[in-house]
Amino acid sequence: MMLNLVEHVFLCLCLIAIMVKRVAVILSGCGVYDGTEIHEASAVLVHLSRAGAKVQMFAPNADQMHVVNHCEGKPTEEKRNVLQESARIARGDVTDLAKLDVSAFDAAIIPGGFGVAKNLSDWAVKNKDCTIQPHVEKLIKDFHKAGKPLGMCCISPILAAKILPGCELTVGQDKECEKWVKKFFIIIRYFWMFKKFNLSLSFFPSSGGRMLRQQVL
């Protein structure tokens, strides 16, 4: 039986929550164009809650790359802090990413949104030559080294692809998206599953890929 995208994401999150109970969710602000994609963050939190996982949210205590007016989709002159903006999603219960102790958690999940490409990295402007925010890079390396699962939604798998040698990502069955992603530096796989439990789960719907090309490239 074929599963749709939502069912795949739900199944993967349930598998994580069944095997682990303490999950760190990494946010990148609040709002799809300059922070965390709120729908994705909400879906992650709902499914983890239903599966009985204990969740703590984290975000870098740093300025956003820029602020986007979400009514117009255009940058403004404002300055906002990633941690403070992430608190909108977390209802205030969010911790500075610098304080994350990998030993205190069994898994980490990073929802998507352009904040991943702008605040957790500079991929939005540098593409394959991007650098990763230091605390994010440490998080991914430490969880991977400890053999703990990393869940990544939408554009966030680029973080693992940049940091972890041989990382594999999924992009669904979209041939156009496949050609675009191959210009980066990752290996494509046509199945929604994780090959090794300590590598990232990549939820990369093709519509997200198209939106990313339109908004960033």
Residues known to be catalytic: 154
Structure tokens at 133: 């925010």
Beta strand 200-203 with 150-153: parallel, antiparallel or unpaired?
parallel
- Tell which residue, 156, 158, 189, 187, has the closest CA to residue 172: 189
Structure tokens at 144: 């991977």
Q: Which residue has the tokens 């969740």?
A: 55
Dihedral (Cα; 34, 60, 170, 114), 10-degree rounding: 10
Query: DSSP state, 76?
Result: E
